[in-house]
Amino acid sequence: MIGQTLRLKVAALTDIAPSLRHVRLVAADGGKLPPAAAGAHIQLVLAGPGRSFRNAYSLVSRPGARDAWDIIVRRVPTSRGGSAYIHEALQAGDTLEASWPGNLFAPVRTARRHLMIAGGIGITPFLSYLADFAMSGGEHALHVCCREEEKDVFAPWLAGRSGVAFHWDADGHRLDSPALLAAPPAGTHLYVCGQAAMNDEGIAAAAAAGWPASHVHCEHFGAALVGGAAFRAFLAKSGIEVQVGEDESLLDAIERAGVAAPCLCRGGACGVCAAPLLEGEAEHRDHFLSPAERNAGRLIMPCVSRAKGGRLVLDL
């Protein structure tokens, strides 16, 4: 089990909702895929017009599956990149380059109980959690907040699963976070995954109920802000100046210029892409750098962070 990249073939594409596409992937050579854990994701390299995108998607297939991987891709309304490509151009039979699975959101094995809160498409990592807990016997509850008409979209992945409740914006159906978070016994771990505002609200409600931060986990990537004002970045080692567009990340622009930049989560969580900042002030949007590192102003995470002024100089 040694390797870095995989060739995958699209086995099937299904639209499960107007903006949600289910993609089934198999090994292009007909062999077996590496097993992956609950909460794992893969990075896909997606060819776009004139450039390629690298997007990370949670695996929703059962943990350990080696015959096929399933992902669910939401069409981001403003996207001209990866999600648009998957929704508009990708065909069954196409092959894609993918990373081996990574995992920045694995369930905590010492937990006595797992409490999950998902917002919309944020349910995806929890679909594999549910399969894991069904197998390992982990006590759990999943609360999904979505639009009322969306609550049956994930039914194929929830068949036979216990402990799942749906909430939507109508009297008697809203999630009462303070009440939910006041009750659990010691040893419970909380996991939230959804839009940034929902994540923040869940984390704040847990803190207000006295939860120690060590028991509160949040999947940031996918929900991270990507766009912002356009700016320029000069890559000092390479001697290249790149223009970073409003709807792309600094990392996207660096890759477009053909400069190698290691990366993993593309969501400001893992720290792999941290780059030395020589000039300019960063607008930090990551979850990795410490307050002291941010204040020092010597590092930037180009996958999510941008320029406060019009220009940055990176030592790349």
Partner 1 sequence: MSIAFKPEETFRGDYRYRNSDAAILRFPFPFPEDRYMYSVNIEPHTRSGPSDVYLHAFDVDEHYIAECRDKAITLERDPGRCQVLPHMMMAQWDTLELLMESLSADYPALFSLTKEGDDFGSLWTWINRPLGIEQRFVFGDAETLPCEPFEYITRQAQGDFAICDQRDDNLYMDAGMVTSQADWSLEFDVGMSFMEWHGPVPLAHQTGVFERALKYLLMLRLGQPVRRLNWTMSINPRLDTSPESYPEWGPDRASVTPANAGEKVHLRVELQTLWRLPRSNAILFPIRCYLASLDDLARVPKWGKRLHRVLSTLPPQLVEYKGLTRYLPAALEWLAQRDDGAELPVGTAAGVTRLNAPVSG
Partner 2 sequence: MMHSDIKSRPAYQALVPDLAGSRHLLVIEGDALPPGRLATLSNTFAPVADSLHTWLTGAPAVEGIAGKLWQLGSVEDVLDTLACATRGYGMGDRLYVLGTEPFLWSVAGAAALIGFGPGQLQLEHAGSLRRRVWCTHCHVTTENVTTGIVACRGCSRHLLVRDHFSRRLGAFMGVMVDAEAPGEIPAIEEVFA
| List of residues contacting partner 2 (CB under 8 A) | 112, 181-188, 206-207, 209-215
Residue 135 interacting partner from partner 2, partner 1, none (CB closer than 5 to 8 Å by kind): partner 1
Q: Measuring CA to CA, which residue among 117, 129, 111 is closest to residue 186? A: 111
Site string for partner 1, 14-43 (x = CB under 8 A): ------------------x-xxxx-xx---
Residue 67 CA to residue 56 CA, distance in Å, equals 20
Residue 211 interacting partner from partner 1, partner 2, none (CB closer than 5 to 8 Å by kind): partner 2
Beta bridge partners of 222: none
Q: Give the nearest distance from C-beta 55 to partner 1 in angstroms.
A: 18
The token duo for 150 is 């969306």
Q: Give the nearest distance from C-beta 143 to partner 2 in angstroms.
A: 16
Question: Please, are residues 235 and 278 in contact by the beta-carbon 8 Å criterion?
Answer: no
Residue 262 CA to residue 259 CA, distance in Å, equals 10
Backbone dihedral region of 255: left (phi > 0), alpha (psi from -120 to 50 degrees) or beta?
A: alpha
Residue 227 interacting partner from partner 2, partner 1, none (CB closer than 5 to 8 Å by kind): none
Neighbours of 185 (CB within 10 A): 8
Site string for partner 1, 109-128 (x = CB under 8 A): xx------------------
Backbone dihedral region of 50: left (phi > 0), alpha (psi from -120 to 50 degrees) or beta?
A: left
Q: Give the nearest distance from C-beta 93 to partner 1 in angstroms.
A: 24
Question: Please, are residues 131 and 65 in contact by the beta-carbon 8 Å criterion?
Answer: no
Q: Give the nearest distance from C-beta 182 to partner 2 in angstroms.
A: 7
Q: Which is nearer to partner 1, 75 or 215 (CB)?
A: 215
The token duo for 37 is 């854990």
Residue 294 interacting partner from partner 2, partner 1, none (CB closer than 5 to 8 Å by kind): none
Residue 212 interacting partner from partner 2, partner 1, none (CB closer than 5 to 8 Å by kind): partner 2
Residue 15's identity, in one-letter code, is: D
Beta bridge partners of 118: 144, 193
Quick one: which segment of 71-79, 102-110, 176-184, 202-210 binds partner 1 (CB under 8 A)? 102-110
Query: Where on the chain is the footprint of partner 1 (CB under 8 A)?
Result: 1-4, 32, 34-37, 39-40, 62-67, 100-103, 106, 108-110, 135-136, 214, 264, 270-272
